[in-house]
Structure 1
Amino acid sequence: MGEISPLANMKFTKSVLQEELQAFSTYFDTSLKGKSALLDRITSYLLENKGKQMRPIFVLLGARMAGSVTDRTYRAALLVELLHIASLVHDDLVDDSMERRGKYSVNALWKNRSAVYTGDYIFAHSLVLSLSNGDHRILEIYTEAIRQMSELELLQMVKNKKIQYDEQAYYDLIKGKTASFLAAACSAGAASVTDDESVIARMHTFGEKLGMAFQVKDDLLDYTQQDIGKPTGNDIKEQKITLPLIYTLHNCDARTKTYLLNIVKHHNTKSDKVKELINIVEANGGMRYAEDKMHAFRDESLAVLQTFPPSEVRDCLEEMVAFTIGRAY
């Protein structure tokens, strides 16, 4: 395929997976039919706003790297997307968020109780889907990712009571919260078509490294001062210290460090102060450092791909890596 632009937009991947994505779309659109009229209204509303569906794409590509897509692959792709949707419904509830992807959240439209039960139903429905089809290895992969994610969420709640800026703790957090789920998608795809644990493990490592790069990119986007179609500076407003600021706090003078921490603790909701903090972070090399770390994780993920033979599917995964790093939102 040749060199892939850092602004790759998944067009090549979607052309290669055209048939599989069409089949998955049909599978997905009929996946949540229930006996409750209210539940059907809510789930239909959720399915209207699918997003980029990157996780199912990684499941399909993981399967293609190890063999050919099967019904088990489609179930693995459906499972990761349903688990993701359930987590978003619960996240909006916990955060008291009124919007999701530019539309009203479930709790905004149908109140908190309906949001709780909807998230629970989608989660349980996902597990039944796997168990009833004997997809035990795939379920094992996903439940381990959920365990890590939940454990890290609880750990973050405890740590948020005190401002933390340890770089290794940051990596541990994003590995459990973000990278674990992308790693699960890639390895579950492989596990849907092969029992070769070495292949499954390599796809897991690829997804984990890319997931780390993905989250660092997300944290960088939160520091941008350009219009990216969504609010920025939210991490500071929520007193979340991510890699650009972590580096700055460890590499600036004592007076600047005290000033930055004061903004995070006491002025984190003031737009002018948040903007000033972002300017200081950029001036002190925090953005550049985070970009270098993001590229290092990217390179590690690409190195894993190089252990597989050249193929159209490997080119697709390289495009997905480029898209993850080059995206502007």
Structure 2
Amino acid sequence: MQLARETIGSELQRFEEIFNNAMQSDVLLLNRIMADIAAHKGKQMRPMFVLLCARLCGAINDGSYRAALLVELLHTASLVHDDMVDDAMKRRSAFSVNALWKNRVSVMVGDQLFTKGVLLALDNNDPALLKIYSAAIQQMIEGELLQMTKANKLSFEESDYFDLINAKTASFLAAACAAGASSTTADPGAVQVLHNFGQRVGMAFQLKDDLFDYGKTDVGKPTGNDIKEKKVTLPLIYTVQHADPVLRKKILYIVKHQHTDKDKVNFVVEEVNRSGGLRYAAEKMMAYRDEAFQLLYTFPPSPTRAALEELVRYTTDRVY
């Protein structure tokens, strides 16, 4: 991501100041928690996509920074709530809000971050920005609920999988790119192209995450964790669809009834590796990446376009 950081280096520095200011509170406990969250923030890829898409269409302005701040506030809120729902003890190698302050505080902190984001748009008379992100949040919530309702009826259909990751992951990155573009251009065509671009990148990003779970590299989470949580991802779907009847029955039984047995999970992981499931999912990931490039290349060559291309390559080439 070096080129991206060089291209918008001063803008990222300003964003960092804006984000840190937004995380401050007059409530002592909340200020302490917010400071801890800010200290362990991630790579901030979404704000980078926002600012680069804004630069691609015009000059970065206050609306661009609001779009970047809003996406980071909403994303952080979703992580706090996710850790609470999943009872996760760690987030980015640090203790989660849930681990330190338990469910009640986690709910309020997530709600506070979400409310900050909404007020940011309303206070600056930016309903278009709020509409873009609200639509994505609605998709995310519907995706989560859909996954919950199907938890006991595991689907091994590719279409269901792609619908789910589009709702849970891709929709939010699509909104980030569209929000950045809309802050610097009034051309609805350009905004839509970058929305579609972000959607393709988001699909590729989630496929990469799902590949990690069956890989051999230490990526900070246990291999086979998706199976333990009965999450059906594309490598597993491909394996089940191409297995002989006996093996298919065995894999399905393990996923449904023995997903907490380490040896059984390892057996499924090995079968996914052997079957070509990883290769198939990687091919789909690269196809989405290439679609993203095709959309990006409708814009003329520039350092900003090159930085976005690098950022896209990072999503598929990263090792963690």
TM-score range for the pair, normalised by the shorter chain length: over 0.9
Moved more, 268-277 or 125-134: 268-277
Find the counterpart in structure 1 of residue 40 from structure 2. 49
Find the counterpart in structure 1 of residue 67 from structure 2. 76
1:204 corresponds to 2:195: yes
Partner secondary structure for residue 22 of structure 2: coil
C-alpha distance in 2 between matches for 1:240 and 1:156: 9
1:313 corresponds to 2:313: no
Find the counterpart in structure 2 of residue 187 from structure 1. 178
C-alpha distance in 1 between matches for 2:232 and 2:198: 24
1:234 corresponds to 2:234: no
Find the counterpart in structure 2 of residue 22 from structure 1. 13
Find the counterpart in structure 2 of residue 7 from structure 1. none
Pairing of 1:1-329 with structure 2 (within 5 A): 10-329=1-320
C-alpha distance in 2 between matches for 1:264 and 1:112: 29
- How large is the Cα RMSD of the aligned pairs? 0.9
Partner secondary structure for residue 161 of structure 2: helix
Displacement after TM superposition at 1:27 (Å)? 0.7
Partner secondary structure for residue 149 of structure 1: helix
C-alpha distance in 2 between matches for 1:51 and 1:155: 27
Displacement after TM superposition at 1:273 (Å)? 1.6
Displacement after TM superposition at 1:32 (Å)? 2.4
C-alpha distance in 2 between matches for 1:115 and 1:198: 40
Displacement after TM superposition at 1:34 (Å)? 2.2
C-alpha distance in 2 between matches for 1:203 and 1:164: 31
Counterpart amino acid of 1:61? Answer: L
Displacement after TM superposition at 1:270 (Å)? 1.9
Partner secondary structure for residue 30 of structure 1: helix
Residues 209-231 of structure 1, C-alpha deviations (whole Å, 9 max, x = no match): 01001001100001112222332
Displacement after TM superposition at 1:232 (Å)? 2.1
Displacement after TM superposition at 1:180 (Å)? 0.3
Partner secondary structure for residue 211 of structure 1: helix
Find the counterpart in structure 2 of residue 5 from structure 1. none
Structure-2-length-normalised TM-score: 0.98
The higher relative CO (CA closer than 8 Å, separation ≥ 6) is in 1
C-alpha distance in 1 between matches for 2:116 and 2:285: 36
Residues 232-269 of structure 1, C-alpha deviations (whole Å, 9 max, x = no match): 21110001110001011111110110011111112211
2:23/2:38 contact within 8 Å kept? no
Gaps of 5+ in 2: none
Counterpart amino acid of 1:240? Answer: K
C-alpha distance in 1 between matches for 2:91 and 2:222: 12
Moved more, 178-187 or 259-268: 259-268
C-alpha distance in 1 between matches for 2:145 and 2:70: 24
Counterpart amino acid of 2:12? Answer: L
What is the number of equivalent residue pairs in this alignment?
320
C-alpha distance in 1 between matches for 2:37 and 2:299: 37
Displacement after TM superposition at 1:112 (Å)? 1.2
Residues 131-179 of structure 1, C-alpha deviations (whole Å, 9 max, x = no match): 1001111111000000000011111100112121110010000001000
Moved more, 258-267 or 77-86: 258-267
- Provide runs of 4+ in structure 1 moved above 4 Å: none
